[in-house]
Amino acid sequence: MKLIQFEFICSRPVPFYAALCNHFLATEHLEISISGKNNRYLIEAVGEQTEIEQLAERISQSFMVSVWLLESHIREVPHREGTNLPLKNIHHQLPFCLHCQPRFGDNQSAEFGDWQLACPICHGEDQLEQDLAIELELLCQDLLEKRTSTFSYQDHTLTLSLDELPPALTVNPTRSQVLICNPNTLPQHFIVPEQHVLALSSLEKPRVTVRPNPNQTALTRALYDIVFGYDRILAIVTERLRQLGVGYVHYQAERYQPLVTWLNEGWSEVQANPNAFPITPVRAVEPLHEDGCFSHINAFWHKGRIHFNHQPIENTVSHEHIATCALLAGGIDHSDSRNSAVIYFGEAGFDEIVTEDKFTRTETFLRQQPMSTFGYDLIAQLEQADQKTVLDKFKQQYPEQYQALHQLNLAGFEQKVSGIFAIAATVLGLDGQNVSELNDRLQAQAMSYPNYRGEQIDFDIDPDAEGRSIDWKKMIGSLMSYRLITEEHDIPQLAFGIYDSLADKLSNWIEHLDQQVGVKSVVLAGKGFTNEVFAWRTALRIGKNYPININRKLDLEGANISAGSLYLKVRRK
């Protein structure tokens, strides 16, 4: 008989995997051993080939794919790594699993619609109130008749609509939220890469950002955050709506599933919300400070781990130090952030590149300097610079885009790379009510470009700025020059070229920093890297020469900043 090991390697803890290991340990007649060290879950068994094959089938029917699963293996091993002791830290909030969902969530099942169905594997029925009363069939009929329906359960109010919800009802002014009812018709409505489909189907049921299929006309936004039914009620509702011919619905909720983004060949959470979804503690060495708070996410160290909770208190992290905190968070895994650099393009603070040398001294290489808020001031600065000639030609050839640039408002994004992207989107004639929407339009255009070669747009250091900063005037002048000699169908190539050119320049700057301070790894952080085209090109360009460091146990902008602040060498008041 052979000793066979089933291995699941994850980027962060998956409590349900630990619970499954315990389940197989307790229920199998074979001699089972299990382990869950370092986010590596093992089930080991000795048996005849037929017994092992049957066990493999049961495991495959139980282990839902996790968005945090990096790889899995089945192999013969010479000795056991696991033990016969149950794993700890198995508490999870999974509403359903592969064992129970087909029973209550499939209209062909006799138990369809029974959201209180008891499950011996995930115990998802415990997530719902026992006296919950809701008429799901009436809800679906009401939606079809009135095209909008609002209902509440579990102190949670949800609005479903067959039409686009007004901006005031969406999670932010620009990104519409969509609940998928029929996964089989998903490609008819959205362009969804394979890894995004797997994420949507995973046990975490996160939201992912995709663009609509250009062949349909009902979806008018540039990008959408989409999600599959993520609890028992919505699993039943979406299945019933699928029966009634509904492929998707727009929705607005009080609490949203975590948003994840594809970054450097893996998934990263964009921003954690400990008020809705507890953050798993992270193993770390003793820090310099007891606690730290950023974006209402409080981090504190206790017994060798960093713990997190929601706190309605002010940030303890100043804008001056956000990028450095992101750098330090990247080194928490191995307790060392020396000889590394961080590229932080985020929502808060400054867009920066910061390095730490072998003596743990940090230095800011680049900090984006503020641009003018209003478009007419931006135009005035272009007229007074070397870009006046190309600006005059652009004004004559594209008067509508010039007028849109004149009316542009960058409030809140003057010191952000996303502000530069908004100017670029306006130059390309893309419509948007605000900076975020313009960024979505530009990203969607780049996503539609089928090739990997874009025009080389100038991204250089501004010689007139205080400190190092991207010369936005030269970049916009370069883009205008290309726009004057290209056609409408070339806009996707120009959009792609913007991101690829900046990624190339970032790679050059990292090489320069390597010569100055020695760079052994590069941390990518901030919500700016939720732009998956820009993130892809940046990781590809830099990753050719340097390891990309993304601490997937933490998010891109939130808990990572809080955790990193515990190690910040700054005396607090």
Going along the chain from its start, the domains and CATH numbers come out as: 2-76 (3.30.70), 100-257 (no CATH), 375-502 (no CATH)
And the tokens for 240? 């019933």
Mean pLDDT of the chain: 93
Q: In 3-state terms, what secondary structure has residue 24?
A: helix
Q: Is the pLDDT of residue 173 over 50?
A: no
SS3 190: strand
Evaluate if residue 563 carries a pLDDT over 90.
yes
Q: How confident is the model at residue 464 (pLDDT cuts 50, 70, 90)?
A: confident
Q: List, in sequence order, every beta strand (DSSP E) within 137-246.
A: 148-153, 156-161, 176-180, 190-191, 208-212, 224-228
Q: What is the pLDDT of residue 201?
A: 97
pLDDT one-digit tens code per residue, 337-349 = 899 999 999 999 8
Give the other-Cβ count within 10 Å of 318's Cβ.
Answer: 12
* Integer Cα distance of 31 and 33 in angstroms: 7
Query: Does 419 have pLDDT greater than 50?
Result: yes
Task: Copy the structure tokens of residue 194.
Answer: 């394979």
* pLDDT score for 154: 79
Tell me the two tokens of residue 555: 């998010």
pLDDT classification of 570: cutoffs 50, 70, 90 = confident
Element (H, E) at 316: none
Tokens of 286: 């003793």
Do residues 517 and 482 make contact, with C-beta atoms less than 8 angstroms apart?
Answer: no
Residue 523 neighbours by CB distance under 10 Å: 25
- Cβ-contact 331, 340 below 8 angstroms: yes
Q: Which of 53-62, 154-163, 316-325, 529-538 has the lowest mean pLDDT?
A: 154-163
Q: Is 535 exposed, middle or buried (0-12, 13-18, 19+ CB in 10 A)?
A: buried
55's enclosing H/E stretch is helix 49-60
State how far the Cα of 455 lies from the Cα of 446, in Å rounded to an integer. 12
Nearest Cα neighbor of 416 from 492, 319, 500 is 319
Q: Given this model, what pLDDT does residue 473 score? A: 97
Query: CB of 212 within 8 A of CB of 221?
Result: yes
Show the tokens assigned to 567.
């190690």
Sign for the pseudo-dihedral over CA of 390, 395, 398, 403: positive
User: Is pLDDT at 170 greater than 70 in this prediction?
Assistant: no
CA–CA dist 300, 215 (Å, integer): 50
Cα 34 from Cα 18, distance rounded (Å): 9
pLDDT surpassing 90 at residue 367: yes
Contact 200, 228 (CB under 8 A): yes
Residue 242 φ then ψ, to 5°: -60, -40
CA end-to-end span of the chain: 65
Phi first, then psi: give them for residue 32, nearest 5 degrees: -105, 140
- pLDDT, tens digit (0-9, with 9 covering 90-100), for 201-258: 999 999 999 999 999 989 999 999 999 999 999 999 999 999 999 999 999 988 899 9
Q: In the structure, what pLDDT confidence band is assigned to residue 149 with cuts at 50, 70 and 90?
A: very high
Tell me, what's the pLDDT at 453?
87
pTM of the predicted model, to two decimals? 0.95
**pLDDT value of residue 313:** 80
- CB–CB of 26/61 below 8 Å? no
3-state secondary structure of 85: coil
Sign of the C-alpha dihedral computed for residues 480, 485, 490 and 494 taken in this order: negative
The one-letter amino acid code at 349 reads G
Is residue 391 classed as helix, strand or coil in its secondary structure? helix
Q: How far is CA 143 from CA 126, 153, 189, 382, in A?
A: 28, 17, 20, 52
Vertex 66 angle, CA 64 and 71, to 5°: 100
How many CB atoms lie under 10 A from the CB of residue 276? 14
CB 338 within 8 A of CB 316: no
The answer on pLDDT for 496 being more than 60 is yes
In this prediction, residue 171 carries a pLDDT of 53
Sequence-ordered list of residues with C-beta below 8 angstroms from that of 380, at least 6 positions apart, any chain: none
